[in-house]
Amino acid sequence: MRARDLMSAPVVAVSPSASAKEAAEVLTEHGFTALPVVDDDERLIGIVTEADLIRHRVPADVRSGPGRPGPAAAGRTVEDVMTTPVTAMSPGTDVADLCQALVDARIRAMPIADGSRLVGIVTRGDVVRVLARADSAIAADVRHRLEIYGGTGRWEVEVREGVVRIVDRDDDETDRHVATVLALAVPGVVAADAVSSGADPWS
């Protein structure tokens, strides 16, 4: 599965000249945790997150005592608070690599760019929603791809907890390999294997 298979597109983005308040309003309205920042040519130049927006922007309660730092200037723009440079991945990135990057960097969203042009975004929530797909929906998608490749009536497909097992009635080793690759590309599949007819697919 590739980033293009689950990215959200077109992307809600913000310009660097927008105010931090405007960015906060967009995040709140859409339930996002981060917004890509693009220039006039739709080139990705940064990202603004919830953390960026709240950092030093909430004034200390005067009842907390003297000496507390005050907030930053109230009229700051996205350009002032955004994270830049920003890490992005290509539409062809393996989702496993993308997930590892999200975890390693402790970030919630990964912009997807074609060169410098923003084309999508993948969030942790997007990945979780894919993992939550019903086994029946996954099986239907796998069968559809296999029928396009090898015709109808040839494949038996069963899915349990995202694990796909395929039985090839024609018992062709090369086609079984292709069937496995096709199944692994289906959103929600966590593992896949194809076996010859007569074998126990769950052994």
Residue 19 and residue 84 share a domain: yes
Give domain status of residue 176, yes or no.
yes
Q: Which domain holds residue 178?
A: 135-196
Residue 121 and residue 23 share a domain: yes
Q: Output the domain CATH number for residue 158.
A: 3.30.1340
Residue 121 and residue 77 share a domain: yes
Residue 167 token pair: 């039985």
Residue 91 and residue 9 share a domain: yes
Residue 165 and residue 78 share a domain: no
Q: Does position 202 have pLDDT exceeding 60, yes or no?
A: yes
Identify the pLDDT of residue 75.
Answer: 53
What pTM does this model have?
0.75
Residue 117 and residue 76 share a domain: yes
Q: Which of 131, 156, 175 is the last residue of a domain?
A: 131
Confidence class for position 152, pLDDT limits 50, 70, 90: confident
**Rounded mean pLDDT of 71-75?**
52
CA distances from 2 to 69, 93, 112 (A): 45, 5, 11
Task: Evaluate the CA torsion angle 81, 87, 93, 94 in order and state its sign.
Answer: negative
Residues 146 and 123 sit within 8 Å (Cβ to Cβ): no
Residue 142 and residue 120 share a domain: no
For residues 128-140, one letter each, b for 16 or more C-beta atoms within 10 angstroms of the residue's C-beta and e for the rest, the string is: eebeebeeeebbe
Q: Which of 113, 131, 149 is the last residue of a domain?
A: 131
Confidence class for position 154, pLDDT limits 50, 70, 90: confident
Residue 88 and residue 9 share a domain: yes
**Rounded mean pLDDT of 20-36?**
92
Identify the pLDDT of residue 197.
Answer: 78
Residue 118 and residue 37 share a domain: yes
Residue 127 and residue 140 share a domain: no
Identify the pLDDT of residue 196.
Answer: 83
Q: Output the domain CATH number for residue 29.
A: 3.10.580.10
Per residue in 159-186, pLDDT tens?
A: 999 999 999 888 888 999 999 999 999 9
> Of 25, 34, 53, 51, nearest to 108 (Cα)?
34
- The residue ranking higher by pLDDT, 128 or 72, is 128
Give domain status of residue 202, yes or no.
no
Identify the pLDDT of residue 171.
Answer: 80
Residue 88 and residue 182 share a domain: no
Q: Does position 57 have pLDDT exceeding 90, yes or no?
A: no
- Name the most confidently modeled range: 45-59, 66-80, 115-129: 115-129
Total number of domains in the chain: 2
